[in-house]
Amino acid sequence: MTSSRTLVFRVQDPDGYGPYNGMSWEGRGEMSSSHCDDSHKSPNADPLLNGIGYIEKCGCDSPEALLRWFDGYWEQLGEAGFVVSILKAADARKGENGQVVYCYYEGVTECDTLDIDTFLGLFAPLD
């Protein structure tokens, strides 16, 4: 049986935790508070995702979606040591606003890891 594979762009710390969990960093509280709107729905509020399980993580389905999701926080994320991991995940669910939920321990292949400055250099729009 062939499983569908989804390319996932994810911000995470060196231990694999996303910026809403894991290590504390300057700006985390502010970002968490501001990311409670229609353009940053939690997986539990996104009807297409239908929640998130304890064996799942979040990412985005494109670099553009990830850029929009963390707009205004890239400098702080980079200073805190976060990176962008590019993964292929089996059976990922795609939600609104480019968010993706996937099982992190099964069917995931890491394709690349970029520091924040490299990611922005490759994918951020030119001014």
pLDDT in tens, 17-56: 999 887 677 878 888 888 888 888 889 999 999 999 999 9
pLDDT at 127 exceeding the cut of 80: no
Q: What percent of the chain has pLDDT over 70?
A: 95
- With bands split at pLDDT 50, 70 and 90, how would you rate the model's confidence at 125? confident
Average pLDDT over residues 77-88: 96
Q: Copy the structure tokens of residue 23.
A: 């290590």
Q: For residue 2, what pLDDT is reported?
A: 42
- Reported as half-sphere exposure (CB side, CA atoms, 13 A), residue 106 has a value of 6
Q: How does DSSP assign 84-109, residue by residue?
A: EEEEEEETPEE-GGGEEEEESSSSEE
Q: What percent of the chain has pLDDT over 90?
A: 71
Sign of CA dihedral 106, 112, 114, 119: negative
As a whole number of angstroms, the distance between CA 97 and CA 46 comes to: 9
Q: For residue 28, what pLDDT is reported?
A: 81
Q: What global pTM score does this model have?
A: 0.91
